[in-house]
Structure 1
Amino acid sequence: MKTRLSAAGAALLACLLAVLAFGQPAHAAAGFSVADGRLYDANGTEFVMRGVNHAHTWYPQRTSSFADVKALGANTVRVVLASGDRWPRNSNADVANVIALCKANRLICVLEVHDTTGYGEQSGAISLGRAVDYWLSIADVLAGEEEYVIVNIGNEPYGNQNYASWATDTANAVNRLRAAGLTHTIMVDAPNWGQDWSFTMRDNAAAVFAADPARNTVFSIHMYGVFDTAAEITDYLGRFRAAGLPIVVGEFGYNHSDGDPDEDTVLAYSQANGIGWLGWSWSGNGGGVEYLDMATGFNPAALTSWGQRVFNGVNGIRQTAREASVFGDAPPTTPPPTTPPPAGGCTAMYTIVNQWQGGFQGEVRVTAGATAVTGWTTRWAFADGQGVTQSWNTALTSSGSSVTARNVAWNGRLAAGASTSFGFLGSATGGNTRPTVSCAAS
């Protein structure tokens, strides 16, 4: 049953004072770090998660999923692991392979132990302390991966009962990991099946953050039926932002058995405020929540309506994801100069938004010249055998290396000097030279 408690004003004031009392460290060179409520990669570049959850522990053979979500634009994947208490243990070798797959596909890897789900209410669920035992058992695999891996101690570590010890248990778990030498950014989930309707995480977050000797903890809220209005979403996330505490939406959906989440506000508010999010989930859901699959049967060419929303919708992954700078070889952020458009014509600017092993994401911006246009056609030729595998906001055709992309019904009319853009995914097995694009207006 969905339950809410009123805001605890005194606790929030204590939260704010605690953050002010404890300074935050400079960016750590070894891996991710937190400062002023934001997450930074090892280069000191702010990183905002845009990705999905993948149920690896139940589908360990679906290793192509890492490349598939990357090809759709994600920069992060949250990977379900098991400690061996409720589900078969993911071995050291298996976790090492998961990390290698993330790195090969230029994805930041958030690893989580799922056996803690609903502790105190769910039969068989394990404590955060037991989850720490698992992390320590794979410490050799985690060592040296601080630039690429974030450790999410335990999924939804308490249900709707017996959650009063969340703050103490979470702080103790963080400190055990630090004492054992783990320097990664640590992510901690809220109680109440991740939804924190009791505001236990919200009102104790500052104390938990201050208890981490590395000041390198990120808080994760799961947004399902409890967060069915814009006001609830913006208030919850806004309080963390105001307190200078790092928050991500570690899971959310567009529908759920406990209510109808306001996913549009989750996406819009997160984008406006630099908050990371990870949608649930790529594929393989069961138990009555199959509607939360983003891809039917793990097939990236068969996105569901939920998958289309997450990847291709407004404020979705394609529009907002930026690859972590630690992977290097980032495409230039400043486009090459272009010649002024002729009167009545148009120009086109080609940008490589993202690239990874075997593929890339491109964007072409079309700008009208000195007079308005009612339609446009762009053309280019790839030099290195690249190909277009998927496109949006354009009618695109290709023949060999030659590509023609025309406007669609809603973006052909441009006022003088106005711009529009379209995007695509491409394959690139060799080089990825930026082609010269021509533009013809009508």
Structure 2
Amino acid sequence: MKAKWWGGLVAVLTAAAAVFTLAQPAQAAAGFTVSGTRILDANGNAFVMRGVNHAHTWYQDRTPQALADIKALGANTVRVVLGSGQRWGPDSAANVSAVISQCKANRLICVLEVHDTTGYGEQAGAATLAQAVDYWISIKSALDGQENFVILNIGNEPYGNGSTATNWTADTKSAITRLRAAGFQHQIMVDAPNWGQDWQFIMRDNAASVFAADPQRNTVFSIHMYGVFDTAAEINDYLGRFQTANLPIVVGEFGFDHSDGNPDEDTIFATAQQRGIGYLGWSWSGNGGGVEYLDMVTGFNAAQLTTWGQRIFNGANGIKATSREATVFGGTTSPSPSRSNSVSPSPSVSVSPSPSTPTGACTATYAVTNSWPGGFQGTVTVKAGAAAINGWTVSWTWPDGQRFTNSWNATVTSSGDAVTARNAGYNGRLAAGAEASFGFTASRGTTNTAPAPVTCAAS
């Protein structure tokens, strides 16, 4: 279970640290890269993480359904908890390969993290960063070739609040150097010490030198925001310093409440959106150790969003309103993800992609990408014709009484069986021949005939 102990921490954040700067060279166009404060996907497009954490190593049978549900609620990223064998696991190369495949099937960017390092120096049995690197090297076969879809988070919250936290800088540099020497080309993410909250400003004040230690200059910093970050001033000051220093940062964990204090989640959401900073909330479901209130859904049931779940998915500056799918998934149809052991898959549904019907200067193709008893997931791909378009509207009529339960990357309205989907603000303008896609989940009966025709009108 996820639990944090802050050792009586009384955090007073100050504005006393000097601004650090570092020039960043151009990056090779393979996998995720860093450009100043921005994260770029493999196509060179800016990517802002909007997602959640999932405790895979403790709830492996829940992972396939959890990833499908997380995607259905609009996320573009999932941070996956792995065990390296010191406290949990180890999760084998085959296990990790399956997780990556499930992330890709659901069009989710996969941030993989070793959780055994949590609170090293204060937490009995916690792994060192060096041991985390040993684990990554041991499963390298599962990670090679996945640079477009996977980010390596070396170790979760790698130090507690004791004197060993000062070792974070040297040990993090060593870990990055070893990973690169072993041939890892992935973007690397590093967590802050002090149980991830960096109240001693060790990560903040040494981030530039850690970034410089990466020969690929492709390291992203991750801050975890709980009780230390309970005012707008603290949040804006911390995140702002990284951006002033031209360094990339994400909020790798945060919540709406915590036993060590009450985070200012509204400012975290608003500041992240304003500054183009990614965030990954903790966590989907299965919390213990007194932080059960951080479950986003009850009992892994996506139909039972908690207060925190409603806030992060449906609230102001939340996932549904701000998430954009990584362009490495654009214009493709994902294979069907595996189902959870707790839910029997429905018999195979023979649904061929609906033929597209040109209307104006675009076409639309409808496909079912996943199916289960009483529901299914679909993707609609819009393609511009011989000329660029400024927007698109897709329409169809359900033939078997299907009904939407959620959608992402489009504004969808319906009246009875009639459906209209319009582009979001960010994916309407398409160059000639370019594609955009939107996804949805819907309920169904015993039959699930694809609608035809599916029409596209350009504007």
Q: Given the two structures, how large is their TM-score scaled by the length of structure 1? A: 0.79
Name the amino acid aligned to 1:51.
G
Indicate how the Cα distance of structure 1 residues 356 and 325 shifts in structure 2: closer, same or farther if over 3 A, else same.
farther
Quick one: distance in 2 between partners of 1:328 and 1:356? 14
C-alpha separation between the residues in 1 aligned to 2:215 and 2:76?
28
Q: Are 2:35 and 1:35 equivalent residues in the alignment?
A: yes
Conserved? CA contact 1:283–1:293, under 8 Å: yes
**1:402 match:** 418
Give the corresponding residue for 1:12.
Answer: 18
Aligned residues: 380
Give the match's secondary structure for 1:198. Answer: coil
Is the CA contact (8 Å cut-off) linking 2:285 and 2:300 kept in structure 1? yes
Which residue of the partner structure matches residue 382 of structure 1? 397
5+ residue gaps in structure 1? 339-350, 363-378, 406-422, 438-442
Instruction: Give the letter for the 1:402 counterpart.
Output: A
Aligned partner of 2:54 in structure 1 is 54
Task: Give the distance between the partners of 1:140 and 1:395, measured in 2 at CA.
Answer: 41
> What is the CA deviation profile of residues 194-216 of structure 1, one whole-angstrom value per residue up to 9, with x for unaligned ones?
00000100000001001100000
Post-superposition offset of 1:187? 0.3
Match of 1:287 among 273, 286, 289: 289
Aligned to 1:144: 145
What is the aligned partner in structure 2 of residue 211 from structure 1? 213
8 Å contact 1:54–1:80 — kept in the other structure?
yes
> 2:331 is aligned with what amino acid?
D
Q: Distance in 1 between matches of 2:192 and 2:13?
A: 17
Residue among 305, 312, 326 paired with 1:324: 326
The Cα shift of 1:33 comes to 0.3
- How many Å separate the matches in 1 of 2:215 and 2:209? 12
Partner in structure 2 of residue 77 of structure 1: 78
Aligned residues of 2:359 and 2:455 also touching (Cα < 8 A): no
Residue 272 (structure 1) aligned with residue 274 (structure 2): yes
In structure 1, C-alpha distance between the alignment counterparts of 2:54 and 2:419, rounded to whole Å: 34
Residue identity in the other structure for 1:56:
H
> Where do 1:189-204 residues align within 5 Å?
189-204=191-206
2:108 & 2:232 partners in 1: Cα distance? 30
The answer to whether residue 332 in structure 2 is matched with residue 314 in structure 1 is no
5+ residue gaps, structure 2, are 1-7, 334-357, 371-375, 381-393, 422-437, 443-447
Distance 1:182 1:425 in 2: 35
- Does residue 372 of structure 2 align to residue 359 of structure 1? no
C-alpha distance in 2, partners of 1:426/1:6? Answer: 43
Q: Hey, what's the Cα distance between the residues in 2 that align with 1:433 and 1:273?
A: 42
Q: Contact 1:49–1:276 at 8 Å: present in 2 too?
A: yes
Q: 1:6 to 1:308 in 2, by over 3 A?
A: closer
The one-character-per-residue Cα deviations of 1:60-90 (angstroms, maximum 9, x if unpaired) are 1012111110011100000000001101211
Contact in 2 for aligned 1:109/1:149 (Cα 8 Å): yes
Structure 2 contact 84–135 (Cα < 8 Å) conserved? yes
CA-CA distance at 1:386 after TM superposition = 8.9
- TM-score, with normalisation over the residues of structure 2? 0.76
Deviation at 1:305, TM superposition (A): 1.1
User: Does 2:243 align with 1:237?
Assistant: no
Change (3 A) 1:106 1:404: closer
Paired AA for residue 282 in structure 1: W
Please identify the structure whose Cα radius of gyration is greater. Answer: 1
Q: What's the counterpart of residue 304 of structure 2?
A: 302
Q: How far does residue 359 in structure 1 lie from its aligned partner after superposition?
A: 2.9
For residues 103-139 of structure 1, give each alpha carbon's deviation from its aligned partner in whole angstroms, at most 9, with x where no partner exists: 0000000000000000011111011000000000001
Partner of 1:68: 69
Q: Distance in 1 between matches of 2:449 and 2:15?
A: 56
Percent identity between the two aligned chains: 60
CA distance in 2, matches of 1:51, 1:6: 27
Q: Deviations over 1:39-63 (max 9, x none)?
A: 0001000000000000000001012
The answer to whether the 8 A contact 1:386-1:432 is kept is: no
**How many Å separate the matches in 1 of 2:15 and 2:420?**
58
Are the aligned partners of 2:398 and 2:418 in contact in 1 as well (CA < 8 Å)?
no
Structure 1 residue 388: Cα displacement: 3.2
